[in-house]
Amino acid sequence: MPIDPLTATAIAATGKWMWDSYGKQLVDELAKELANRREARDLRQQWQQATADYLEKLQDQIKFVGILGKTGGRKALDQIYTDVHLLDELSANRRYGLAGLEAEFVSRQPRRREDSKRLKGEAVVAREQRLFILGKPGAGKTTFLKQVAWRTIIRNRQDDQVKKLPIFVTLKELSDSGLALVPFIEAQFERAGFPNAAAFVKQFLKAGDAIVLLDGLDEVSQEEKQADLIKAINQFIFAFHRCQLLLTCRLAANSYDFKGFSYVEMADFSPEQQKTFIYRWFDKRQDKEACWQALQDSQNKTLQELARIPLLLSLLCVLFEARPDKDFPKERHQIYREATQALLGRWDEQDKLILQRDPIYDALSPEHKEALLADIAAQTFEKEEYFIPQQRLANLIEAYLRREQISQQPDGVFVLRAMEAQHGLLVERARNIHSFSHLTLQEYLTAHYIVANEARGSLLRLMTYVGDDRWREVFLLTAAMLNDASQFARLYLQALTDLVAADQTLTAMLEWGAAKSVNLPSRIRPPAARAFRLFLARSLARFHANNRNNALEFGHAFALILTLLLDQDFALTYSSIFARVFAIDSELTQPFDLSDNLDSSYLFEHAHSFLHAFDLDFPRALTLDVIITWGPVWGTEIPQTASGIIAQLRKLKQDVQRPLLNELTMLQVPRDDVPIGQLQAFNRSFEEIVKRHWELEQLWELSSTQTKLLTQYLQANWLLLDCLELAYVPERQAIVDQLLLPPG
């Protein structure tokens, strides 16, 4: 592999330092025992060649890193490396409240309390003599050690820099060799051809001129080998205390107590680090930008959660690059399956995660391992358990192992520790308190359990959570993973009916919406018409409840804006866009704060986001053209008072002739300082015009509880539509046609 000029210069400087500090003296001492000068000269050449061979082999070992899914399998470290941050307080030792941890976990936000504790990795290395670096699987521990080694060589080219020789040791190789640590290091130099390698190694170790990098303490899993290795490390520290020493280990495998070490933890990637990684991972600029922009999309919030771990971010880059449309797969369960398998160690081509297992865990097939995790996920997610006491998890593990007849006397705590150490899907968040590494993976594994147990009634149990937003991702994943989701869809429809059947007011609204949505032109689909009718009824009801002043209720004002420009047939055809925009927004359970001054771009952006609604087959280009056209009409902000809206309508009347528009512009808008009675009279006139135009014979008085229930019901309908987009359902149109129908 060609060496770049910077590395070549650094290697030359390191070789010269090795010769000046140790080589010349050692060679001269050996030469005294030789009979002729030619042999002494050959000895000098042997040293210089051995130095070159050792350093070139070392640079090949540390200068390149394996890249998941990349052609060729590896890339230069300086081309892909993203600066690492370390936490000086281990996650399991943090004492802040579990309530705060849980809130951050459920909202899929990075742990904010880490922000003040994040330290630059290289700065920590510069100040600490001995460092124990812990991290989750895939967190980049090995890559960080390689970067430390490479930066050490690069610094050797600076005349004023204290020079050191990096010694990189993979602890599994050391353990498998049967050698102690110092003989293992000596063997590396002997293979390179150094004359009297043992004396040379002992000299520079005694002088403290080495930075010793020990990688993967957790990968040595046999207890007797671990004990020997720990003893060897402690002996090395005692004998060569001047040497700087860095040691890495998986977070959950840490049961060691090394005296004199500073313990730190690899921090998750921040958004800035994610962007850097993506821009270095891809070769083409358009791919870099496209991947980063796709990850920032609000619809990819669950992927942002995975992207905090370098291994999983690399996996996302692989999946993105493989698609011709340069986007993440629509079928999210495929991504989560790949992520799960990557952490389980079955996907990594370099066997980085394949470790020896404890006897019970090793007895599990890959399918059993995933099934065990799915069993834990389903039982804990259903009970809203995100941070789970250790004994609770141990009991779940033991119950599964007994039920599957794998072991009749399992040690659940021991198996849990093995699971955490080996794949990191479960992590210890606080002392003896555990969680899944990502909420996304807990949701995926819950869906995996439901699909695997469909014959045992898991789908019927799932339907008890229709309308519960906490289960949204589980519904989507389950629908996508089923071979045939027909039963899923039928059960879901029944659950929708059950959600509102007991409320007479909401049932009456549904009956009215259904009655007003028959005998429509063929291009208007009945479910879309029903959605729009419900939206108008709900919006006008809220306007009616808040008509004590002259400020139009914001949701209703926007409904009016849309309907003014369209005749009834056209509005119904495109109704699903704006019906969905407002009905899906949980904030509508509370009145808008009109002082927020929301602008029209916010509404148009959301309308664009919800094009996938009832009218999946309508001409989207025309729809977008209509939406874009409205923007300039209203300027940067949609008016939020009656007077502002009427003033704009009068301007529109010059170009657009619509009956509703004509009637509303005839209204005389009272001033703000008139008596309240005049304001209320104006609102009643406004209300009556809209009611007549849209055939609203009555207004339904909705309590706050009913408003919340209606919002919940509408959200659940939209969720079923999203599920149907992902699922295989032969009678899909028949299911859609039954949406928003009244009970009975």
pTM: 0.70
d(CA 488, CA 170): 50
CB 727 within 8 A of CB 480: yes
Residue 53 token pair: 């061979």
**Which has more confidence, 400 or 588?**
400
CB 302 within 8 A of CB 440: yes
Span of 57-61, 219-223, 226-230, 470-474 with lowest mean pLDDT: 219-223
d(CA 624, CA 572): 16
pLDDT surpassing 80 at residue 378: yes
**Predicted local distance difference test score (pLDDT) of residue 382:** 96
**Per-residue pLDDT tens over the stretch 303-333:** 888 898 888 888 888 888 888 888 888 788 8
What is the dihedral angle through the alpha carbons of 423, 427, 428, 429, rounded to the nearest 10 degrees? 150
pLDDT surpassing 90 at residue 646: no
pLDDT surpassing 80 at residue 142: yes
Torsion over CA: 8, 150, 154, 276 (sign): positive
pLDDT surpassing 80 at residue 398: yes
SS3 for 84? Answer: coil
**Predicted local distance difference test score (pLDDT) of residue 655:** 58
**Predicted local distance difference test score (pLDDT) of residue 169:** 94
Percent pLDDT > 90 in the chain is 30
**Which has more confidence, 254 or 386?**
386
Percent pLDDT > 70 in the chain is 72
**Predicted local distance difference test score (pLDDT) of residue 200:** 93
**Predicted local distance difference test score (pLDDT) of residue 599:** 36
Q: Which of 200, 261, 193 is nearest to 230 (CA)?
A: 261
**Which has more confidence, 728 or 350?**
728
CB 470 within 8 A of CB 398: no
The arithmetic mean of pLDDT across residues 425-435, rounded, is 81
**Per-residue pLDDT tens over the stretch 524-561:** 677 777 877 776 777 666 666 655 444 444 444 444 54
**Which has more confidence, 451 or 643?**
451
pLDDT surpassing 50 at residue 72: yes
**Predicted local distance difference test score (pLDDT) of residue 587:** 32
Burial zone of 335 (CB within 10 Å; 0-12 exposed, 13-18 middle, 19+ buried):
buried
**Predicted local distance difference test score (pLDDT) of residue 295:** 93
Region of 377 on the Ramachandran plot (φ > 0 left; ψ -120 to 50 alpha; else beta): alpha
pLDDT surpassing 60 at residue 145: yes
**Predicted local distance difference test score (pLDDT) of residue 615:** 34
**Per-residue pLDDT tens over the stretch 195-207:** 889 999 999 999 9
**Which has more confidence, 170 or 352?**
170
pLDDT surpassing 80 at residue 695: no
Inter-CA distances, 680 with 18, 228, 556, Å: 91, 86, 16
The arithmetic mean of pLDDT across residues 156-166, rounded, is 86
Burial zone of 42 (CB within 10 Å; 0-12 exposed, 13-18 middle, 19+ buried):
middle
d(CA 436, CA 441): 7
CB 360 within 8 A of CB 406: yes
Q: CB under 8 Å to 67, separation ≥6 — which residues?
A: 73, 74, 75, 80, 281, 314
Q: Which of 108, 118, 219 is nearest to 174 (CA)?
A: 219
Mean per-residue pLDDT of the chain: 77
pLDDT surpassing 80 at residue 280: yes
